[in-house]
Structure 1
Amino acid sequence: MIRKHPLTEEFPEFEEKILELKVDNEYFKNLFDSYDELDHEIYRIESDSEPASDETINQLRIKRLHLKDEIYQFLKDN
């Protein structure tokens, strides 16, 4: 099933903190926006709205995973 991966669903235990940090922390907001844009790009490719090679989609998924890891670490530490 093709779907988006919003951070509030990926980290439901941090939902309130995510919403708070998006407003109060510029660094987190940039991370969040980058993740959101990347997730949307992956979704467009997976739903065949935008063509891309398998290598490209795999690289984007890896990048999303790294961003997600960085965001999780930030949420844990702050």
Structure 2
Amino acid sequence: MPLEHHPLNREFSEFKTQLHALLSSDGHFVRLANEYEELDKRIYEVESGRVAMDEVLLLGLKMQRVSLKDELSAYLHKA
């Protein structure tokens, strides 16, 4: 299975307009989006073998990413 980043613009391609609007106007959404992107980068680094990490810790990061994605999704559905 090839490694992939999971950027918000691809994960929520159907919400392109709402994503752009929230990233331009909502500080809390921007903070959550930045946190999501940083987690995604960390996970990719571990999965690519560039950074060593225990599987349990990696799973924790993935769970955090899913939680943030759910929260971001809720914002986008309201916008």
The two structures have a TM-score, normalised by structure 1, of 0.94
Which of the pair has the greater relative contact order for Cα pairs under 8 Å at 6+ separation? 2
Unaligned runs of 5+ in 2: none
The code of the aligned residue for 1:41 comes to R
Aligned residues: 78
- Local SS of the residue matching 2:4: coil
Correspondence 1:77 to 2:69: no
Between 1:34-43 and 1:18-27, the stretch displaced more is 18-27
Identity of counterpart residues, as a percentage?
Answer: 32
Aligned position for 2:29: 28
Moved over 3 A (4+): none
- The alpha-carbon deviation at position 77 of structure 1 amounts to 1.2
C-alpha RMSD over aligned residues: 0.8
Unaligned runs of 5+ in 1: none
Map 1:1-78 → 2, pairs under 5 A: 1-78=2-79
The two structures have a TM-score, normalised by structure 2, of 0.93
